[in-house]
Amino acid sequence: MEPVITRTLILLVLVTISTAAPLQDAAVEDGGTSPAAPDRCGGVEFDAIAPNEKGNTLFFKGDHVWNGFTGPAQLSSLHFKELSGPINAAFRMHNTENPNDHDHIYLFQDDKVYSYFNQTLEEGYPKQIQEDFPGVPTHLDAAVECPKGECMADSVLFFKGQDVHVYDIATKAVKTKTWSHLPSCTSAFRWLEHYYCFHGQNFTRFHPVSGEVTGAYPKDARHYFMNCPNFGHGGDRKPLKCSNIKLNAATTDDGGRTYFFAGPIYIRVDTHRDGFHAFPITRAWKEANDGVDAVFSYDSKMYLIKGDQVYIYKADAHFTLIEGYPKTVKEELGIEGTVDAAFVCPTENIAHIIQGNSMRDVDLTATPRVISREFPLPLSDIDAGLCGDDGIRLFKGSQFYYYESPRILAMGRIAPVASDITSALMGCED
């Protein structure tokens, strides 16, 4: 499933693809009209695709660029004035350790590279590609950023023919792979942690480390990445009302990625600038069919609880089920009965398990794991729990209860006033 969710999940999609403000019609230069702007709904083969520093997706074709998933094309030179003619590739830099480069947009043209920030060309550019990216060939076909956690290190994937040159941003080392099973990419795009090779008017989703392609591909981009007449794009769908939200689980992993689970889908809520979007749980956690009851993260692992089973995944570059799992909740955590919610707070080793109107603490450093403490709660029927540096949120329907710490939660005898889930928290419609 791609950026459009299947019809059975329409009501669970929390936000449709975010759209940037469309650019104005192609401008006049030297008193005459610009060359005819291409129509992406006519089946355009893009030269390059990349998000800008604000998260708006730029689609390049010839002398033109589209800003966002809808709207007309405009001459690219009006926004990148030093640029003349089509580009070969583009990507947005992910390099948080170097703020002078992070979020800059790199545009590649023949043997040169341009670096822009807020549509301003950085001093010293354009440069020879080899000067900025040693070991990377010229006349590229495509490029896409790959942050650590999705690749083994902050990297850029450069495509030329069937070869993929993996450039390590920190070490400047280049490893070349040949992915002959993948179509020749004329552009590549990372969107919400998923990677797409565009070829012709179609695209193929691939794994950024192995190049593996799973699912039925290619697919027509006009069904997914733009709003075109007579194509099944999701742009007409309405975001779910915040008042209709009902979660099953929530967690933040050691990499700072926050996930909300609802039925058979999940969304990332820490990637605001890329928009909120729902995906099937089986996309990331293949064995967790039909949803989960509770989730918590601990020691670079994610624990998914479903019925009386616990699935534990390594939360490294990609989620991998640990050998020997699933196991029973009793065997793994010393807990009997169904679990309503669970959470682990940062820097703690305690899994707080909520069952009915009780909270049971399990020391995750103990062997075997057993219930170490038990507390009554002034709440029941909790759907999900999430603990961060700013405190605890216990979700129930479309509201949540806030506590400053597990200690205050355990000592409380009167439930606090519930707060409504808002668009700021989940991207739903207030």
Average pLDDT of the residues in 213-229:
87
Phi, psi of 409 (to 5 degrees): -65, -45
- Residue whose C-alpha is closest to residue 123's, from 114, 132, 131, 112: 114
| Per-residue pLDDT at 373 | 95
Give the pLDDT band (50/70/90) at residue 14. Answer: very low
Question: Residue 407: enclosing H or E segment and its boundaries?
Answer: helix 406-411
| Per-residue pLDDT at 271 | 65
Give the pLDDT band (50/70/90) at residue 208. Answer: very high
Does residue 342 surpass a pLDDT of 70? yes
Cβ pair 67, 20 in contact under 8 A: yes
Does residue 137 surpass a pLDDT of 90? yes
Does residue 338 surpass a pLDDT of 50? yes
Question: Residue 120: which residues within 8 A CB-CB, separation 6 or more?
Answer: none
- Residue whose C-alpha is closest to residue 59's, from 151, 189, 232: 189
Tell me the CB-side half-sphere exposure of residue 182, using CA atoms within 13 A. Answer: 30
pLDDT tens string 279-327: 789 888 988 888 999 999 999 999 999 999 999 999 876 788 999 999 9
pLDDT tens string 141-198: 999 999 988 898 999 999 999 999 999 999 999 999 999 999 999 999 998 788 999 9
At 241, list the tokens: 């009302």
Q: What is the DSSP string of 25-46?
A: SPPEETTEEPSPPP-GGGT---
Query: Pick the residue with more confidence: 67 or 343?
Result: 343
In whole angstroms, give the CA distance from residue 405 to residue 388: 9
| Per-residue pLDDT at 234 | 42
- Residue whose C-alpha is closest to residue 266's, from 299, 300, 302: 302
| Per-residue pLDDT at 27 | 34
Tokens 């909270």 correspond to: 359
Does residue 34 surpass a pLDDT of 90? no
> Is position 199 annotated in a ligand binding site?
no
| Per-residue pLDDT at 160 | 97
Question: Residue 268: which residues within 8 A CB-CB, separation 6 or more?
Answer: 192, 193, 257, 258, 259, 276, 277
> Is position 194 annotated in a ligand binding site?
no
What b-and-e string marks burial along 198-209, b requiring 16 or more CB atoms within 10 Å of the CB?
A: bbebbbbbbebb
At 190, list the tokens: 């990372």
Cβ pair 140, 89 in contact under 8 A: yes
pTM of the model: 0.68
In whole angstroms, give the CA distance from residue 354 to residue 364: 16
| Per-residue pLDDT at 232 | 63
CA distances from 26 to 34, 35, 37, 107, 227 (A): 6, 8, 7, 21, 19
Query: Pick the residue with more confidence: 20 or 35?
Result: 35
Average pLDDT of the residues in 203-231:
89
Question: Residue 220: which residues within 8 A CB-CB, separation 6 or more?
Answer: 201, 202, 231
| Per-residue pLDDT at 23 | 33
Does residue 136 surpass a pLDDT of 50? yes
| Per-residue pLDDT at 367 | 93
Question: Residue 333: enclosing H or E segment and its boundaries?
Answer: helix 329-333
CA angle 264, 394, 279 (to 5 degrees): 20
| Per-residue pLDDT at 33 | 33
Average pLDDT of the residues in 107-121:
96
| Per-residue pLDDT at 256 | 83
214: number of Cβ within 10 Å: 10
Question: Residue 7: which residues within 8 A CB-CB, separation 6 or more?
Answer: none
CA angle 152, 157, 158 (to 5 degrees): 155
Average pLDDT of the residues in 416-425:
90
In whole angstroms, give the CA distance from residue 373 to residue 370: 9
Query: Which domains are present in the chain?
Result: 8-236 (2.110.10.10), 242-426 (2.110.10.10)
What does pLDDT average to over the chain? Answer: 86
| Per-residue pLDDT at 82 | 94
Tokens 């950024």 correspond to: 208
| Per-residue pLDDT at 29 | 34
Does residue 261 surpass a pLDDT of 80? yes
In whole angstroms, give the CA distance from residue 202 to residue 33: 30
